[in-house]
Amino acid sequence: MANLPGSWKRVILIAFDVVALFIALWGSYALRYGVVYHPTGLNQVLVIVSAPLIAIPIFVRLGLYRSVIRYLPERAIWTILQAMTIATLCWVVLAFLSEMTGQGMVPRSVPVLYWALGSILVGGSRFAAKRLLLPKSGKRLTAGAVAIYGAGAAGAQLAVALRNQRNTFIAGFVDDNPALRGREVAGVKVFSPQDLRYLVTEYGVKEIILSIPSAGAARQKEIIARISGQGIKIRTLPPLGDLVSGKFLVNQIREIDIDELLGRSSVPPDVDLVRAMIAGKTIMVTGAGGSIGSELCRLIVKWSPQRLILFEANEFALYQIDRELSGSSDQAVVPVLGSIVDRARVEHAIKQFGVQVVFHAAAHKHVPLVEANALEGIYNNVIGSLNVASAAFEFGVDSFVLISSDKAVHPTNVMGATKRWAELIVAQMSRRALEKKTGQRFCSVRFGNVLGSNGSVVPLFKEQIAKGGPLTLTDPTMTRYFMSIHEAAELIVQAGALSEGGDVFVLEMGEPILIRDLAENMIRLAGFSVRDEEHPDGDIDILTVGKRPGEKMYEELFYDDTNVTKTRHTKILRAANSDTTKDAIDNALLELTSALKSQDEPEARRVLFEAIQ
């Protein structure tokens, strides 16, 4: 019976209710008279027959036949009691009119008994059936009902796919089109967005799936803003381009990425720039197992390099990215375990494989950790960058791209200062290449925070949400620039292709975002509400814990925003570089190296910051 079509199941339910209400009314008379009741006369038969005839339309109107028994929420008992009360009152009116015509009397206790027996039979039968339909293991079939936002072709296809899974109850569609409201699509009723709260309270909806793959980023952001904060989880279909095959898989439903709420306009990559930088070349990525490094590697293997060298100091991270790329690509991928502070190891890797392009992503980037371990941060980020850039110059690497940071602008912490040093070292190598006319190109690419990167705020917030909160902020007014890892990787490669030597490219980051707004959006996307003074009954708190050592309230992208030029790519800008001379850098490097050897942290910090003022 569970495998029957929905229409047949409704017919069976109606037939059962008709019989149940007959029995309820007959039983009411029997209990009242204390004997087995036998109707006498046509009028008494018609009074009993009229009860289900009156009740069934009322049950239909109140939606008793729309719910799937297997997923019937506990609160449905109130709807059943309401329907039974209205049906009983209507039947009493009919019985009263019958009495007025002199066709017999109905005892006053019969309507009360009829209401009680009818409620027990109708309500009890449904919850008994629900219990019987639960899996034998007792495991819940679903965490709650779902709603689908978008009653178009994709939504209908999704509804069919979810229904075939037999473990999801679709409470309804939600759609902005007034012409669809109240109708049924794929056997599911269409509601207005204003009815979402009704779906949550009446059907126990725990999740809404956005089925609008053709909608742009701005439209999706608008919809998410409208439906978030209702205590429901939001997921979405893949973009339209991922569904062009006409096939839909339920496992393609994915979580909403927080970067989809940034409002950034998407710019397709310049194919010529990417191909010129990667195709047919031997490329080395330092820090290949890190967030940016691994995404660069995933992008590079798609553009047919001759060989990709994965240079990484962390054994497990190297194992993971090597296994991923080797299993998904036919390109030659070579894992090299080594640290950038080991000059001989870096030189050997570049020389052995004839590296033509280097993307230098290896660095210690976690601001508080580098601040607490300044000597190691300086040694890795400055001396390590010097090793890689020098080896690239000496062994004839064609293009060198340093992945820098917005924290390199007017740095207030060790991490930012080391990144600025790395930029100056790369600029020095570029001047040397220009003097010797080697044709080599050295450049830096500077950008802000990357969503989801190791050590960033997004994974931290996700972990805190999973634990039930609270989310911790350093300051409610703190802002940061954000972009997705994939977009950053694409722009880094294209910036490298635009290099003329000595460039500092700055990626267009859009508007800075309040970290508190990011935290609130992540809480809502996870299906929770923010607890604050205005909403004391919310789910998750946001606490302010104070600034950490070296943190800035806001980040900058340029030293001089009046001296910025555009490139052929709208998302890549060229900033003016520093006028620091070769001798100044060389002398500062000698002092810095001496301080590192003697483990003199105060002196190392002094040299680090004075040289970049």
pLDDT tens figures, 59-108: 888 877 766 666 566 667 888 888 899 989 988 888 777 765 555 567 77
pLDDT tens figures, 465-498: 888 888 888 888 887 777 778 888 999 999 999 9
Q: Residue 400 is encoded by which pair of tokens?
A: 């060198």
Q: Which of 45, 59, 295, 71 has its CA nearest to residue 162?
A: 71
Burial class (CB in 10 A: 0-12, 13-18, 19+), 142: middle
Question: How remote is the C-alpha of 86 from its chain's centroid?
Answer: 46
DSSP 8-state secondary structure symbol assigned to residue 455 = T
pLDDT tens figures, 354-381: 999 999 999 998 888 999 999 999 999 9
DSSP 8-state secondary structure symbol assigned to residue 534 = S
User: Are the C-beta atoms of 382 and 418 separated by less than 8 Å?
Assistant: yes
Examine the pLDDT at 285 and tell me if it is beyond 90: yes
For the chain, how are helix, strand and coil distributed in percent, rounded to 5? 50, 15, 35
User: Are the C-beta atoms of 94 and 39 separated by less than 8 Å?
Assistant: no
Core vs surface per residue 184-211: b (16+ CB within 10 A) or e: ebbebbbbeeebbeebbebbbbbbbbbb
CATH number of 145-256: 3.40.50.720
What CATH class is the domain 271-610?
alpha beta
Q: What is the mean pLDDT of the chain?
A: 82
* C-alpha pair distances (Å), 73 with each of 63, 79, 120, 345, 545: 13, 11, 17, 64, 41
CA dihedral (295, 297, 303, 307) in degrees, to 10, reads 180
Omega prior to 459 cis, within 30 of 0? no
CA dihedral (462, 468, 470, 471) in degrees, to 10, reads 10
Question: How remote is the C-alpha of 357 from its chain's centroid?
Answer: 33
Which residues, including other chains, have CB under 8 Å from residue 607's CB and lie 6 or more apart?
Answer: 588, 591, 592, 595
* Percent of the chain residues past pLDDT 90, beyond the cut: 31
* CATH 3.40.50.720 in the chain, residue ranges: 145-256, 271-610
Q: At what angle do helices 6-33 and 109-133 cross, to 10 degrees?
A: 140
pLDDT tens figures, 1-26: 555 665 677 788 888 888 888 888 88
pLDDT for 263:
53
pLDDT-based confidence at residue 249 (cuts at 50, 70, 90): very low
β-pair partners for 471: 542
Q: How many CB atoms lie within 10 A of CB 125?
A: 15
Examine the pLDDT at 138 and tell me if it is beyond 60: no
Examine the pLDDT at 599 and tell me if it is beyond 90: yes
Question: Which alpha helices (H) appear in 395-549, and where do they start and end?
Answer: 414-436, 457-466, 485-498, 515-525
Radius of gyration for the chain, computed over Cα atoms and rounded to the nearest angstrom: 34
Q: Residue 565 is encoded by which pair of tokens?
A: 């030029």
